[in-house]
Structure 1
Amino acid sequence: MEIHIGKRVADVSLVSKDGNKVRLTIDGIPYEVDVVMAENGACSILHNGVSYNAELIRGESGKNYTVNTHFLSYGVDIVDTQVKYLRMRRNSEERQDNKIISPMPGKVVKVAVQKGDRLEPGDIVVVIEAMKMQSNYKVSSACTVRDVQVKEGDSVTSNQVLLTLDIITDKED
């Protein structure tokens, strides 16, 4: 998932959790930490023998927090894969691009089209699973599939081209 801390954007992935022991990656760098959460929002994190304490205050949306340490406060926003996908989709709904791009790393669960298929707005072209959640990628304009560059079971990276399209622009009535 994407985490915004002030102006910094970090890509955070949970690798595993066993009790208080958490393995995660931040921008591809692995970390192993021991995390203890108290009911009052207090959080204690132990990493490489150093203890860090913070207070977490959850915002109304449940996806943003104020994090207070002894000397600093941070605004933290969590942008999960669904929100990121919807934001990208909103930005591209007006005009379909000539390619479908994965906004995050994941695994291709289903490719619903083949080269040469004619598509209508709203047609699902590919399904990607990331962090145990599946996202359907759709086209927003009439088009045909020029090329399919992934297959079911493939792992994809952020910003990887999944399909290329030929947009149908004729306005014949």
Structure 2
Amino acid sequence: MEIHIGDRVADVTLVSKEGNRVELTIDGKPVVVDIVMAENGSCSILHDGNSYNAELIRGEGGKSYDVNMFYRSYHVDVVDTQAKYLHLRKDSSERQSDKIVAPMPGKVVSIPVAVGDRLKAGDIAVVLEAMKMQSNYKVNSDCTVRSILVAEGDSVQDNQTLIELDLSKEE
């Protein structure tokens, strides 16, 4: 995923998450942190023997946050890289695949579709959560939901098929 912090743009990839221990890469550099989240939006982060406390205030749509840390505040935007990629690719001749796969390990938060539903380009098919951040996965062309292979609350692996689609024959 792409994270914007002020003028800085960071490429962040979740490698693994076990309990509070999170392994990720930031701009290709491996980072291991221990994160404990409280219900009020505050969190405690342990990294390289240092302890940090932060308050996270979620913005509209859940893709932006204000992060407050001991006399410093940051505005953080999480860019939906799948939507960005699909938008950049929109003019190409490539069409929607006949399935939606998990791009990384995570948890299924919501499946706002049912078998037989007809979807239009841009409709959300599934919502996944990884590292306390939710991502909407959308279709990029008209299709029908053939089967749903996961349920809300399921843990999923990288490249696991979540939903199978029948593509519209139009075009």
Q: TM-score, normalised by structure 2?
A: 0.55
Structure with bigger gyration radius: 1
Pairs within 5 Å for 1:1-173: 1-89=1-89, 93=91, 123=95, 130-131=103-104
Cα displacement (A) at 1:16: 0.6
Contact 2:45/2:52 (<8 A) preserved: yes
Contact 2:86/2:140 (<8 A) preserved: no
Cα displacement (A) at 1:83: 2.3
Q: Identical aligned pairs, as a percentage?
A: 61
Cα displacement (A) at 1:126: 10
Per-residue displacement from partner, 1:15-52 (whole Å, max 9, x unpaired)? 11110011111001001110000000101100111001
Query: Unaligned 5+ residue runs, structure 1?
Result: 97-120, 139-173
Q: CA RMSD in A?
A: 2.9
| 2:60 maps to amino acid | E
Alignment-derived partner of residue 167 in structure 2? none
Q: 2:11 aligns to what SS in structure 1? A: strand
Q: 1:40 aligns to what SS in structure 2? A: coil
Contact 2:83/2:138 (<8 A) preserved: no
Paired with 1:126 and 1:3, the residues of 2 have a C-alpha distance of 29
Contact 1:127/1:136 (<8 A) preserved: no
Paired with 1:12 and 1:122, the residues of 2 have a C-alpha distance of 26
Q: TM-score, normalised by structure 1?
A: 0.54
Paired with 2:100 and 2:29, the residues of 1 have a C-alpha distance of 23
Cα displacement (A) at 1:61: 1.0
Judged with a 3 Å threshold, the aligned counterparts in structure 2 of structure 1 residues 49 and 89 are, in CA distance, closer, same or farther, namely same
Judged with a 3 Å threshold, the aligned counterparts in structure 2 of structure 1 residues 46 and 126 are, in CA distance, closer, same or farther, namely same
Paired with 2:80 and 2:62, the residues of 1 have a C-alpha distance of 12
